[in-house]
Amino acid sequence: MSYTCKALIKDYCANCTFAGIRFIADDTKHWTERCIWVVFVFLGWYGSAVLIIAAWNDFVLNPISFGLDTVYTDWNTKMPAVAICEFSNDERIYEVADKIWSTDHLLDLEDALRDIAYFRGYCFNLVDFCYNTKKPEPKCPMSNYSYYANLVRSDCHRIIQNCSYNNVPFDCCEYFLLMPTDIGTCYVVNSIQTEKSNSYPMICNNTVKRGSIKFDVLLTSMLYTLGEDEIPSVTSLRATTLKIQLGRKYRRLVAVNNIQNDPLVADTTTQQRACRFYSENEGGMYPHYSYSACITQCRKQAQLKLCGCHDHFIIATSEAHYCNISGMACLHAHVDSLINIKPPWSKRPGQVCQCLPSCDETEVTVIKDRSVSERLFKKKKSEVEIVLAHIPAERFKRNVVRSRLDLVVSVGGTTGLFVGASLISFIELIFYFTVRFISNILMDKRNQKRNVVLSIQGRKKYKRINLGIEQKQTQGPYVNSGVLNSTLIVYDSIYEKINKRHH
């Protein structure tokens, strides 16, 4: 076996296509020449390894670059998503409280009901009046808080009216669609995260340069201007929110910048591009992935970990996991930790959520908010207008500068330049020490078996020759019948040949 391995290695080195190897294996050359080739081959492989590792690190860590695209003549810019979330409705609180507990109920029950219906992470009145007391009020709501919230919260027709886009009226509740969030039910237009899909064509370009959404709000609410994939939540930036109070006119100017992705971006991993596409939404609570949806999922998991339950506004939750009064008290006690998001290095209270931004996110910038009092409304409604300040003249573009093909070309060029190798060279290396090695072993065994068979046959033949010689010496060349024995003649001739060889 040692002879076979040695011969195989020598045969490979003498015939391989890697540059310089055959000169090292050539034992007809002087040892100094062979040592020089060892140094050259080592330096070639070392240089190749250094460049291949650098190319791999660039492919893994820096395959994406950001740039600005300014060819805006044929762009279509969508208006941002606009969400209206009910913030307060005292008249409805009084009405529901009288219906549930009769007209002579304690006023503290109304405050507790308000905390339930408009829960945003804290509930001072509910916890103080119904939990942190020795003798809680028997009428206190102790569980099933989603039932009480649904009694108070209003539907779309009671919140939004008189909608129009560029002074063209449209049905508000046909396009402002219901979206459950962690701050209760909201009504959103131009969003892809709603269960139903019915978008109004609100597109601006060089032909339609103006974009203006107008509508009336009938209840005190919170307004959010977001990207089409984002959702309103307790963690939404304050710059995107606007509190709508009755009896006023509001006008918000916004600018929109989109991100365009190179088609090859989809072939990279999430770690390489540092973002996720809409379809990469495994285990998500909403139809598409977005940063805010991921944050909501993170807060949901944090609630379950800290308090063992979820608040009544968290979607995709079974009834058994909704909080009762003790669970709500726990959420209230950990409010700073549950509603704040912090980086991993920060020591302040909050959650560390490993959420990546969306690859298709839209940057919505609030340029200016204007609010004026309107006496004619008599605090029965507010008028809201969202205006696109200008058509964007630039947009971000995510390009792939190091694709898989670039990696293959870089590795192939490096190995060809430094070690004179190709793909066939590495196949040859594997072939020699697998298929050729096994084949040599099988051939060696086969030859050994053949030699054994030939040796046995030669011995039998030699014995028959010796037997014929003995018969010739004892019996003579003729038998009693007087006929010449042909077998003895053959043995006689063979005997003579053997004697000639020995002499």
Strands 203-204 and 212-217: unpaired
DSSP sequence for 215-238 = EEE-SEEEEEEE-TT----TTS-G
Name the burial class of residue 332, with classes exposed (0-12), middle (13-18) and buried (19+) by CB atoms within 10 angstroms of its CB: buried
399 dihedral zone (left: phi>0; alpha: psi -120 to 50; beta): beta
C-alpha distances out from residue 374 to 142, 246, 250, 383, 387, Å: 42, 9, 10, 9, 20
The pTM assigned to this predicted structure is 0.77
Residue 112, SS3 per DSSP:
helix
The answer to whether 388 and 79 have CB atoms below 8 angstroms apart is yes
Per the DSSP assignment, residues forming a β-bridge with 398 are: 66, 261
pLDDT tens string 374-401:
776 667 889 999 999 888 888 888 888 8
CA distance 159 to 464: 118
Q: What is the DSSP letter of 321?
A: G
Q: What is the DSSP letter of 310?
A: B
The answer to whether 122 and 183 have CB atoms below 8 angstroms apart is no
Q: Count of CB atoms within 10 A of residue 460's CB?
A: 10
pLDDT, position 476: 45
DSSP sequence for 438-463 = HHHHHHHHHHHHHHHHHHHHHHHHHH
Residue 302 CB contacts under 8 Å (≥ 6 apart), including other chains: 337, 338, 351
Q: Count of CB atoms within 10 A of residue 119's CB?
A: 22
Q: Count of CB atoms within 10 A of residue 175's CB?
A: 18
Total residue count of the chain as it appears in this document: 503
Q: What is the DSSP letter of 131?
A: T
Residue whose C-alpha is closest to residue 408's, from 422, 429, 428? 422
Strands 184-189 and 203-204: unpaired
Kindly report the three-state secondary structure assignment for every residue of 257-301. Answer: ECEEECHHHHHCCHHHHCCECCCCCCCCCCCCCCHHHHHHHHHHH
Structure tokens at 397: 């573009």
pLDDT, position 331: 95
Domain 268-359: state its class.
mainly alpha
Name the burial class of residue 417, with classes exposed (0-12), middle (13-18) and buried (19+) by CB atoms within 10 angstroms of its CB: middle
Biggest alpha carbon distance in the chain?
A: 156
pLDDT, position 318: 87
The answer to whether 48 and 20 have CB atoms below 8 angstroms apart is no
Residue whose C-alpha is closest to residue 340's, from 186, 239, 233, 232? 233
Kindly report the three-state secondary structure assignment for every residue of 179-215. Answer: EEEECEEEEEECCCCCCCCCCCCCEECCCCCCCEEEE
CA distance 50 to 183: 54
| pLDDT < 70 stretches in the chain | 1-4, 72-73, 376-378, 453-454, 456-503
Task: For CATH 1.10.287.820, list the domain ranges present in the chain.
Answer: 268-359
Per the DSSP assignment, residues forming a β-bridge with 68 are: 396
C-alpha distances out from residue 335 to 119, 185, 290, Å: 11, 21, 23
Name the E strands within 363-489: 363-373, 382-388, 395-400
Q: What is the DSSP letter of 433?
A: I
